[in-house]
Chains A and B, each alone.
Chain A
Amino acid sequence: MARRISATDIRVYGDPVLRAEASRITDIDDSLIGLAERMFEVMYRAPGIGLAGPQIGVEKQIFVYDLDDDPQVILNPVIVESSGEWVYDEGCLSIPGLFVEVLRPKQILVRGWTLAGEEVEVEADELLARLFQHEVDHLNGVLMFDRMTPDQRESALSEYQRRADGASVEPIHIKLA
């Protein structure tokens, strides 16, 4: 029976699982489908628009997302093409309270598997492309901090630490230069 899971089960910055490389999924079975269902539950409750396996402590290459009421699961994703540049104020469920304007490619092409085991390619632009890049990063142990400029990283780390120490409950917003 599936364990009850709550939004507080989301692993936060400092947990080593967020820095591990998730392993490729080779078998799609009932337990994987159950995992995807739990991930949606956690994601909706948080709330967020995406969630990657390591964020609930599962070192597997899986992420779920829901943009425009269209819930989807992608396994073993790889970004095969990227182009353009786009700045977006990015937040992460594993780094609560921090929003940073991060510069990343604007359009990407992602290849992976569906939960039915079929290979799928998705072209994404702007917000969806951002979501994919963020989730694929999680599966490689990469966090938002690694995508910031050195100046942003310095202030993000210190302000995040202050907030985590209870100095403030207000969200932190860090602009790009």
Chain B
Amino acid sequence: MFLGTPEAAVPSLLAVHAAGLPVRLVVTRGDARRGRREEPSPSPVKRAAIALGIPVSHDVGDVVAAVAGVHDPLGVVVAYGRIVPSAVLDLVPMVNLHFSLLPRWRGAAPVERAILAGDRETGACVMELVAELDAGPVHSCIRTSIGGEESAAELRTRLAESGATELAHCCAAGFGEGRPQDGVPTYAAKVGPSDVAIDWSGAASTVLRQVRVGGAHTSLRGVRTRIVRARPVQTSGDPAGESGIVTRDHDGAVVVACGVGSVALVEVQPEGRRVVDAGAWWNGASSSHLGTVRFG
């Protein structure tokens, strides 16, 4: 059995399959609508399962029928996005690949929270799925350091790949007794707009973390703008000016002063517009629009 939904779960499905372990059924969340006019589209895991010729279900209850007659059934859960009911878990033991060093960052957004908190190291754990959220005994962990400019998407891709290898290895080797999680748990709540709303009066390092998580937004010259990419600026010590003020330095970098330090914008996306290079944004924003968008 394999339960998973997004792109980050696909390497695990492929690795378990490639290890020669029989996957009888894939359970994934229902097809999601992307954009306003698009037809609902299948999840990445569903597409991968179809390509591998594995039956797919949207109902976790189907697991029970699928394991009928199977000796030692096992479910593998990676970013499924739903709670597995205990009635199912009682019949089919499951292991879960979670993208943090447990018990740190139990919950929905471990990769994003690790970056927002400024963690230098994270990892992925294979653990037993229990009723309590991400609290099961751990079978195996891999560790990795977080790159100083690595985005959440990049880190998630890395963890998905190396975690998948570890997961397949565990599945092939068999699971012994897990080791209880050791330490004080922290919880990784889903990241919402308020988590990535930029406060320029804060530290540049905080702003950069928000940008790396994705969706970081602010108001620039009266227009709500998403900061797609940014980089740290080595400041000479003097503050560049009042926080939130945008300037262009002698190297052509578009720099925003923060409460502590400064940030150079690399790519931005003004509301309703496409992603543009910060230099192009600067030229457009400073020459044409006085304050905000003018309709006719």
Q: Is the CB of A131 within 8 A of B295?
A: yes
Q: How far is the CA of A63 from the CA of B294 in the complex (A)?
A: 14
Q: Is the CB of A93 within 8 A of B296?
A: yes
Partner of A48, one of B36, B271, B296: B296
Q: Which positions 210-226 of chain B face chain A at CB distance < 8 Å? A: 222-223
Decide yes or no whether A117 CB sits under 8 A from chain B.
no
Q: Is the CB of A97 within 8 A of B274?
A: no
Q: Is the CB of A91 within 8 A of B296?
A: no
- A43-B296, A52-B296 known; A97 vs B271 contact (CB < 8 Å): no
* Binding stretch for chain A, among B16-24, B190-198, B284-292: B284-292
Q: Is the CB of B294 within 8 A of A91?
A: yes
Interface string of A59-79 (1 = CB under 8 A from B): 000011101110000000000
Min CB gap B285→A, angstroms: 12
Q: Which residue of A lies closest to B290 (CB)?
A: A171
Min CB gap B275→A, angstroms: 11
Q: Is the CB of B272 within 8 A of A67?
A: yes
Decide yes or no whether A135 CB sits under 8 A from chain B.
yes
Decide yes or no whether A92 CB sits under 8 A from chain B.
yes
Cβ contacts under 8 Å, A128 to chain B: 272
- A99-B291, A123-B36, A173-B291 known; A51 vs B272 contact (CB < 8 Å): no
Decide yes or no whether B273 CB sits under 8 A from chain A.
yes
Cβ contacts under 8 Å, B292 to chain A: 89-91, 99
Q: Which positions 65-89 of chain B face chain A at CB distance < 8 Å? A: none
Decide yes or no whether B293 CB sits under 8 A from chain A.
yes
Indicate the size class of the contact surface on chain B: 10 to 19
Q: Which positions 248-291 of chain B face chain A at CB distance < 8 Å? A: 271-274, 288-291
Q: Is the CB of B274 within 8 A of A127?
A: no
Q: Is the CB of B296 within 8 A of A89?
A: no
Q: Is the CB of B291 within 8 A of A91?
A: yes
- A91-B291, A97-B290 known; A126 vs B296 contact (CB < 8 Å): no
Cβ contacts under 8 Å, B36 to chain A: 123, 125
- A47-B288, A89-B291 known; A138 vs B271 contact (CB < 8 Å): no
Min CB gap A8→B, angstroms: 15
Cβ contacts under 8 Å, A20 to chain B: none
Q: How far is the CA of A51 from the CA of B294 in the complex (A)?
A: 10
Decide yes or no whether A12 CB sits under 8 A from chain B.
no
Q: How far is the CA of A97 from the CA of B296 in the complex (A)?
A: 13
Decide yes or no whether B34 CB sits under 8 A from chain A.
no
Q: Is the CB of B272 within 8 A of A50?
A: no
- A69-B274, A127-B271 known; A135 vs B290 contact (CB < 8 Å): no
Min CB gap A46→B, angstroms: 7
Q: Is the CB of B294 within 8 A of A68?
A: no
Partner of B272, one of A48, A91, A127, A134: A127
Q: Which residue of B lies closest to A52 (CB)?
A: B296
Cβ contacts under 8 Å, B37 to chain A: 123
Cβ contacts under 8 Å, A51 to chain B: 296
Cβ contacts under 8 Å, B291 to chain A: 89, 91, 99, 171, 173
Cβ contacts under 8 Å, A55 to chain B: 296
Q: Is the CB of B293 within 8 A of A91?
A: yes
Q: How far is the CA of A64 from the CA of B296 in the complex (A)?
A: 9
CB-CB nearest 9 A-B residue pairs: A51-B296, A127-B272, A91-B294, A50-B296, A134-B295, A48-B294, A50-B295, A171-B291, A89-B292
- 19 new A-B contacts at CB < 8 Å, known A46-B294, A63-B296, A89-B223: A43-B296, A46-B296, A47-B288, A47-B294, A50-B295, A65-B296, A68-B272, A68-B273, A89-B291, A90-B293, A91-B293, A91-B294, A93-B296, A123-B36, A126-B271, A134-B296, A138-B296, A171-B290, A171-B291
